[in-house]
């Protein structure tokens, strides 16, 4: 019976999908935009020697550049027009969120509704241009000063002209991706910014799998270990889906009110709180900060860097106890820190009190805010432990068996969460299309009657 019901439901959803022309247009637009993004990751910045650049990246492997290269879909390693990817925009958005919690003026703008949101988005775009300019100039100067294994730099003709063209090209690429992400969100399916990062990670998954199988073919990686890695990846994905779908629902009651001769209200609803409110921000921040010393040491190795930096790099190597301990501590810190910024218990309690809602057994106002803060703190403890487990387990395997970054916890988290959000949006579009069909049918029947 269950199997027959599932088959019937799938047939209905497929039938609804074939009739949902608007949804199909949105999906084709999203795919077309992502193809344009992927084509851009192969257009190189002028004045770069790709052979020497590849040697420099191999020399600095294992550092923060590997993570940024993974997020950019290999564009940074090839030094293309999308080398900065959408990361400056994400950094600007996070900074604006922090500033909104600190600055009274920005907090007042946030409360103005749609007008305030548009102004904050405009400030975010301006900040993106500033951050992208600084990062692009840093990349241009770094490429000129970084020597390859043979002593020559990756820049064919260093100088002011190269720096200017690199800054203009990279900043223009980031602005184009920012616009493309907004277009996907408005005219496509899913969150455009998240889908761009998702496409960058997924695009390099086949080569990562090929490198793992090549290690197995040459005997560097035992077959049992490869099978264990695949099973573990499936188990981690299932675990991520379970936790990301989990919610703590707080019952909210609304009192009955008499409007004229009618009684309204009296219904109850739920305030859903996710276990992992912070999302993938804590692992990204923690891994970026921890891998910074490794990158600096790799850069300074060619110029004879200080000995203490080499020792710190050895202690902060993948799989080392100090690295894992600091990684877990930073994930926990950023999980609590970012959750405190995203969710404000006082503001939520005030909104409930304003509309007459209350949590049964809890007095409105400060007591409700304290209760929400207590529940959120316990959920964040579970969420931080979940993030630490998902990110540290693959980290140990990466250090032991030289597995590519693409099997790390951060990349799996991004891929799974973005896929779940996109599928949820597609289901919402299908449901809306079915409702539209039902409304049209009821109108036709009403006219006939």
> What are the tens digits of pLDDT across the range 161-207?
989 999 999 999 999 999 999 999 889 888 888 888 888 888 877 77
* Average predicted confidence (pLDDT) for the chain: 79
Quick one: which H or E segment has residue 250? strand 247-253
Of residues 312 and 378, which shows the higher confidence score?
Answer: 378
The structure tokens listed for 30 are 């999203």
Judge if pTM exceeds 0.75: yes
Lowest mean pLDDT among 86-95, 286-295, 332-341, 355-364: 286-295
Same fold: 20-203 with 204-407: yes
Read off the pLDDT of each residue in 34-59 and give the average, rounded to a whole number.
Answer: 84
> Which are the contacts of 222, defined by CB distance < 8 A and separation ≥ 6?
216
- What's the chain's length in residues? 449
Q: Alpha-carbon distance 368 to 352, whole Å?
A: 9
Residue 4 has pLDDT above 80, yes or no: no
Tell me if residue 248 falls in helix, strand or coil: strand
Distance of CA 312 to the CA centre of its chain: 29
- Report residue 349 CA to chain centroid gap: 29
What percent of the chain is predicted at pLDDT more than 90? 12
Given this model, what pLDDT does residue 117 score? 83
Confidence of residue 1 (pLDDT cuts 50, 70, 90): very low
Domain ranges of the chain: 20-203, 204-407
| Helices and strands: H and E segment counts in the chain | 18, 4
Q: In terms of C-beta distances under 8 Å and separation of at least 24 residues, what long-range contacts does 408-414 make, across chains too?
A: 409/236, 409/283, 410/67, 410/280, 410/283, 410/284, 410/287, 411/70, 411/201, 412/233, 412/236, 412/237, 412/240, 413/240, 413/280, 413/283, 413/387, 414/194, 414/197, 414/198, 414/201, 414/280
Q: Which residue's entry shows tokens 């992502």?
A: 34
Question: How sure is the predictor about 221, in pLDDT bands with cuts at 50, 70 and 90?
Answer: confident
Q: Judge contact between 33 and 188, C-beta under 8 A.
A: yes
Give the count of beta carbons closer than 10 Å to the beta carbon of residue 139: 19
CA distance 418 to 71: 13
Residue reference for tokens 């910014």: 193
Q: Report the range of poorest mean pLDDT among 47-51, 131-135, 193-197.
A: 47-51
Residue 114 has pLDDT above 60, yes or no: yes
CATH topology of domain 204-407: Preprotein translocase SecY subunit (1.10.3370)
Averaged over 26-55, what is the pLDDT?
87
Alpha-helical runs (H) found in 355-408: 366-401
- Judged on CB neighbours under 10 Å (0-12, 13-18, 19+), 411 is buried
Beta bridge partners of 122: none
Place of tokens 């579970």: 382
CATH code linked to domain 20-203: 1.10.3370.10
How many C-beta atoms surround the C-beta of residue 199 within 10 A?
19
Question: Encoding tokens for residue 199?
Answer: 């496409």
Partnered with residue 281 across adjacent β-strands are none
Both structure tokens of 128: 């993106």
Asked whether the predicted pLDDT for residue 342 surpasses 50, the reply is: yes
Asked if 181 and 190 touch (Cβ cutoff 8 Å), the reply is no
Q: What is the number of other CB atoms lying within 10 angstroms of the CB of residue 333?
A: 14
Phi, psi of 247 (to 5 degrees): -140, 150
* Pairwise CA distance, residues 240 & 284, whole Å: 16
């Amino acid at each position: 019976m269950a199997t027959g019901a599932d088959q019937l439901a799938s047939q209905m959803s497929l039938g609804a999908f074939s009739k949902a022309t608007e949804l199909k247009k949105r999906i084709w637009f999203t795919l077309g935009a992502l193809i344009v993004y992927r084509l851009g990751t192969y257009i190189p910045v002028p004045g770069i020697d790709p052979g020497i650049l590849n040697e420099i990246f191999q020399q600095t492997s294992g550092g923060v550049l590997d993570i940024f290269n993974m997020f950019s879909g290999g564009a940074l390693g090839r030094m293309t027009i999308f080398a900065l990817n959408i990361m400056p925009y994400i950094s600007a958005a996070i900074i604006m969120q922090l500033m909104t919690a600190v600055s009274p003026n920005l907090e007042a703008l946030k409360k103005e509704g749609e007008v305030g949101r548009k102004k904050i988005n405009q400030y975010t775009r301006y900040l993106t241009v500033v951050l992208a300019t600084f990062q692009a100039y840093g990349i241009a100067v770094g490429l000129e000063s970084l020597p390859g294994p043979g002593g020559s730099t990756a820049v064919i003709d260093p100088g002011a002209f190269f720096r200017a063209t690199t800054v203009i090209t990279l900043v223009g690429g980031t602005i184009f991706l920012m616009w493309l992400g907004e277009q996907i969100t408005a005219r496509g399916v899913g969150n455009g910014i998240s889908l761009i990062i998702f496409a960058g990670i997924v695009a390099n998954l086949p080569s990562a799998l090929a490198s793992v199988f090549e290690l197995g073919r040459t005997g560097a990686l035992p077959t049992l270990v490869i099978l264990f890695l695949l099973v573990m990846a499936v188990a981690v994905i299932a675990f991520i889906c379970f936790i990301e779908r989990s919610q703590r629902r707080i019952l909210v009651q609304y009192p009955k009110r008499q409007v004229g001769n009618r009684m309204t209200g009296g219904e109850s609803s739920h305030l859903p709180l996710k276990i992992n409110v912070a999302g993938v921000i804590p692992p990204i921040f923690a891994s970026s900060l921890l891998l910074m010393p490794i990158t600096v040491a790799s850069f300074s190795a060619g110029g004879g860097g200080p000995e203490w930096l080499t020792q710190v790099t050895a202690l902060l190597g993948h799989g080392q106890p100090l690295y894992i301990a600091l990684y877990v501590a930073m994930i926990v810190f950023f999980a609590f820190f970012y959750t405190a910024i995203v969710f404000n218990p006082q503001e939520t309690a005030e909104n409930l009190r304003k509309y007459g809602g209350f949590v049964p057994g809890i007095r409105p106002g400060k007591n409700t805010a304290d209760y929400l803060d207590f529940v959120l703190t316990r959920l964040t403890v579970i969420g931080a432990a979940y993030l630490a487990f998902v990110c540290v387990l693959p980290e140990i395997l990466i250090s032991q068996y030289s597995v590519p970054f693409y099997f790390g916890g951060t990349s799996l988290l991004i891929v799974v969460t973005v896929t779940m959000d996109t599928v949820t949006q597609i289901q919402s579009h299908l449901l809306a299309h079915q409702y539209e069909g039902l409304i049209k049918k009821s109108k036709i029947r009403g006219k006939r009657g």
